[in-house]
C-alpha cells in the first residue's frame, strides 16, 4: 500500500490548499458551512481519482487540481443536501452542517458548491467536462430520490438496491475518473476504461460501506452501528437477512420498516443476526467481484506509476475496516 499512501500524502496538500482558497472566497453566510463540511475528514477519493487518471494518461501539469476539486465540491454539496433530507444529526462523527449552522445555510451552501463546481469545470473550455459533471449530478440526485422512495416503501429487491447505489455513489466516482481522462484527451475509448473502473469501484465502495454499517462500532465509523437499519435504509446485508427469513417473518419486518415501528431491541437483534450469519462478509464478497472488474479495466491503460496506485486503491476500497 505504500505507493497509494505516498500518492495521497503528496497530492493532499494541493487539494486542500485549492479547496481552502475557494472556500475563503465564499460569502460569509455560507463560508463556514462550506469549510465545516469540506474539512471534516473526507477521504478525497474523488479528486484523487481524477488526478490519478489524468496522470496515468500523461497529464503532468498542475491544471488538474481545479477539476479534481470540483468533484470534491459536488460530493460535498450532495452531503449537505442529503443530511438535510435525511435529518441526519451527525456526519463523520461530528454534528451535521445543518445542525451547526441551520438548514437554510446548509441548503444554500450546497447550491453554491454545486454552482462553483460547474464553474470550475466550465473554465477549462472542454465541453465534455461539463457534460460529465452535469450527468454525474443528475445521476446522484436520481439515486438519492430512488433511495428516499425506497425507504418509504422498502422491498428486498436487489435490482432496486443496485440502481440506488449506482446512482447515489458510483456515478459520481465514475464521473471523477472520466473527468481525469477527458481532461487529457477527447478519445472516448480511454475515458470509457476510466469510467468502467470508476463505476465498479464506486459500487464496491458503497457495498463495503453498507457492510461496515452493520459491523463497525461508533468509535471507528463516526456513526452508530446499524444506522442504516434505523433509518429504514434497505442495504445488501439487510436484503440477505430478509432472503433468509420465512415469508411471514420477512413480511412482518418489511412492514415494521415501512411503518417505522422497529424497536431498538428489534434493530439490535437484526444487527446481531446479520453479524452472526456472516452477511456483512457476503456483502464484501459481492464487492470483491466489482473490484475485480474495476482492476481488469486498468490492464488496457499504459503502464505508469499511477496505474499501480489505482490498482492499490481498488484493493484498499475492498479491505478498509472503517
12 interacts with a copy of itself by CB under 8 A: no
Q: Measured between alpha carbons, how far is 28 from 109 in angstroms, rounded to an integer?
A: 11
Of 57, 112, 182, 310, the residue at the interface with a copy of itself (CB under 8 A) is 112
Closer residue to a copy of itself, CB minimum distance, 30 or 317:
30
Of 37, 51, 73, 116, the residue at the interface with a copy of itself (CB under 8 A) is 116
Q: How many CB atoms lie within 10 A of CB 243?
A: 11
Of 138, 285, 292, 300, the residue at the interface with a copy of itself (CB under 8 A) is 138
Altogether, the residues listed in the chain come to a count of: 322
Please report how close the Cβ of residue 27 comes to a copy of itself at its closest, in angstroms. 5
Q: Which residues contact 80 (CB under 8 A, 6 or more apart)?
A: 33, 37, 97, 98, 106, 107, 109, 110, 113
Q: Measured between alpha carbons, how far is 303 from 294 in angstroms, rounded to an integer?
A: 16
Q: Where are the beta strands (DSSP E) in the chain?
A: 90-91, 94-95
The CA-CA-CA angle for residues 159, 318, 292, to 5°, reads: 70
Which of these ranges, 61-69, 117-125, 224-232, 235-243, lies near a copy of itself under the rule CB under 8 A? 117-125
Q: Measured between alpha carbons, how far is 262 from 268 in angstroms, rounded to an integer?
A: 10
Q: Is 283 in contact with 210 (CB distance < 8 Å)?
A: yes
Closer residue to a copy of itself, CB minimum distance, 104 or 266:
104
Of 144, 213, 228, 306, the residue at the interface with a copy of itself (CB under 8 A) is 144
- Write the interaction track for a copy of itself spanning residues 17-46; mark x where CB under 8 A is met and - where it is not: ----------xxxx----------------
Of 46, 55, 81, 223, the residue at the interface with a copy of itself (CB under 8 A) is 81
Of 10, 41, 89, 104, the residue at the interface with a copy of itself (CB under 8 A) is 104
State how far Cα 79 lies from the chain centre: 9
Question: Residue numbers of the site for a copy of itself (CB under 8 A)?
Answer: 27-30, 81, 84-85, 104, 107-108, 111-112, 114-116, 118-119, 121-127, 130-131, 133-135, 137-138, 141-142, 144-146, 148-149
Amino acid at each position: 500500500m505504500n505507493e497509494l499512501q505516498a500518492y495521497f500524502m503528496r497530492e493532499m496538500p494541493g487539494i486542500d490548499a485549492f479547496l481552502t482558497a475557494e472556500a475563503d472566497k465564499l460569502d460569509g453566510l455560507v463560508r463556514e458551512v462550506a469549510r465545516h463540511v469540506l474539512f471534516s475528514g473526507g477521504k478525497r477519493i474523488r479528486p484523487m481519482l481524477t488526478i490519478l487518471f489524468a496522470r496515468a494518461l500523461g497529464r503532468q501539469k498542475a491544471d488538474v487540481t481545479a477539476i479534481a476539486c470540483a468533484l470534491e465540491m459536488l460530493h460535498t454539496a450532495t452531503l449537505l443536501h442529503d443530511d438535510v433530507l435525511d435529518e441526519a444529526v451527525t456526519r463523520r462523527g461530528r454534528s451535521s452542517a445543518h445542525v451547526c449552522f441551520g438548514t437554510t445555510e446548509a441548503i444554500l451552501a450546497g447550491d453554491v458548491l454545486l454552482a462553483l463546481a460547474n464553474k470550475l469545470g466550465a473554465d477549462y473550455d472542454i465541453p465534455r467536462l461539463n457534460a460529465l459533471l452535469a450527468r454525474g449530478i443528475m445521476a446522484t440526485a436520481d439515486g438519492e430520490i430512488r433511495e428516499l422512495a425506497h425507504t418509504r416503501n422498502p422491498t428486498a429487491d436487489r435490482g432496486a438496491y443496485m440502481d440506488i447505489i449506482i446512482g447515489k455513489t458510483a456515478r459520481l466516482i465514475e464521473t471523477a475518473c472520466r473527468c481525469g481522462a477527458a481532461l487529457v484527451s477527447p478519445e472516448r475509448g480511454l475515458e470509457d476504461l476510466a469510467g468502467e473502473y470508476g463505476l465498479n469501484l464506486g459500487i464496491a465502495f458503497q457495498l463495503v460501506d453498507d457492510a461496515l454499517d452493520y459491523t463497525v462500532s461508533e468509535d471507528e465509523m463516526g456513526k452508530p452501528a446499524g444506522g442504516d437499519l434505523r433509518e429504514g435504509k434497505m442495504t445488501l446485508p439487510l436484503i440477505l437477512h430478509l432472503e433468509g427469513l420465512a415469508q411471514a417473518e420477512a413480511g412482518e419486518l418489511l412492514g415494521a420498516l415501512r411503518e417505522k415501528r422497529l424497536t431498538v431491541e428489534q434493530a439490535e437483534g437484526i444487527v446481531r443476526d446479520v453479524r452472526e450469519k456472516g452477511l456483512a462478509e457476503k456483502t464484501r464478497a459481492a464487492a470483491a467481484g466489482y473490484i475485480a472488474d474495476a482492476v481488469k479495466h486498468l490492464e488496457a491503460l499504459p503502464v505508469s506509476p499511477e496505474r499501480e496506485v489505482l490498482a492499490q486503491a481498488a484493493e484498499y476500497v475492498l479491505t478498509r475496516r472503517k
